[in-house]
Amino acid sequence: MIAAVTSLGGIGLLAALALGAAARKFAVEVDQRESAIIDVLSGANCGACGYPGCGAYAKAVVEDGVSPSLCTPGGQGTVEAIARIMGVEAEAAVPQVAVVRCQGDNRKAKEKYRYLGLADCNAAQKLADGPKACPGGCLGLGSCERACPFGAIEMTADGLAVISREKCTGCRKCVAVCPRQVIAMAPREATVHVLCNSHDKGAAVRKYCEVGCIACQICRKTAPEAYVIEDFLARVVYEHHEQAGPGVEKCPTRCIRDFRQGYPEGSSFRAPGTDVSSDVDAGANEKVAG
């Protein structure tokens, strides 16, 4: 009995020694800078940097010299921290936010048919190109809301996705999941946006949406440097976004919005600088949208 126990103990000891030797021989050394970068990253593993996670991005920075400025959720502070670790000069990060280029909720935009399937935008889009008559409108089934790791997206009661400018980190997960490319990235400092994604001619847009862009040219005539019309759709030239304000009031369909004046109708998000303790702006969205 004792001999058997001794024998088993010896075998166990030899196996442990063998495993230890193998671990030392095949160990992969991790650059300490890589660990240090992981510590200063946001830890969201959101993929905004273009890599599958924070660890992969840190490895790319150390081994491949990838830019330290790709972690948008971390902001400029993270960029500077990574630059210090790598001993390079920090680049200026341009903060961006995601914008839903649509205001055509279930009340303002028509549907082709009543969709009763899976509550997923990608699934709905595969069925006759989606239930919404506008080919580029928000389907309102919440795929982007579920994809957002920061709680920056809400669905209004009338089926429209709205993104909080305060909560959005620019991770682009919502952009990736939207089957109609309704969501686009824009500079955070720009508050005026054309909230339409239809490239149909104005006559067609009027038939299916109350708040769609009809390419009437009024915004461009009002602020020539701030707007362009491309393929029957207006867009803000963000290099001149400071001049885009006059186009908001001139737009006949109200498809241009300045988020400083409020979010799309039905949203619970408040305009920047609003006193959350008051209800003064409770009807601001209604006023701006109306």
In a domain, 263, yes or no: yes
Percent of the chain at pLDDT above 70?
Answer: 83
What's the structural domain count of the chain? 2
272 CB contacts (<8 Å, ≥6 apart)?
165, 166, 191, 259, 260
Judge whether 46 is annotated as a binding position: yes
| pLDDT value at 54 more than 60 | yes
CATH number of 77's domain: 1.10.15.40
Judge whether 209 is annotated as a binding position: no
**Per-residue pLDDT tens over the stretch 215-227:** 999 999 999 999 9
In a domain, 207, yes or no: yes
Between 219 and 65, the higher pLDDT residue = 219
**Per-residue pLDDT tens over the stretch 3-46:** 655 666 566 666 666 666 655 555 455 689 999 999 988 887 88
In a domain, 211, yes or no: yes
In a domain, 10, yes or no: no
Asked if 77 and 103 sit in the same domain, the reply is no
Separation CA 222–CA 224 (nearest Å): 6
Domain final residue pick, 45, 64, 86 = 86
**Per-residue pLDDT tens over the stretch 132-177:** 999 999 999 999 999 999 999 999 999 999 999 999 999 899 999 9
Asked if 78 and 217 sit in the same domain, the reply is no
What pTM value is reported for the model? 0.77
Judge whether 121 is annotated as a binding position: no
For 137, what's the count of Cα atoms within 13 Å in the CB-facing half-sphere?
A: 29
Phi and psi torsions of 221, nearest 5°: -70, -30
Asked if 108 and 166 sit in the same domain, the reply is yes
Short-list 132, 187, 192, 202, CA closest to 161: 132
Structure-token pair, residue 280: 């003064």
Range of the domain at 182: 96-289
Judge whether 54 is annotated as a binding position: yes
Asked if 140 and 284 sit in the same domain, the reply is yes
Domain final residue pick, 59, 86, 113 = 86
Judge whether 138 is annotated as a binding position: yes
Judge whether 174 is annotated as a binding position: yes
CATH number of 132's domain: 3.30.70.20
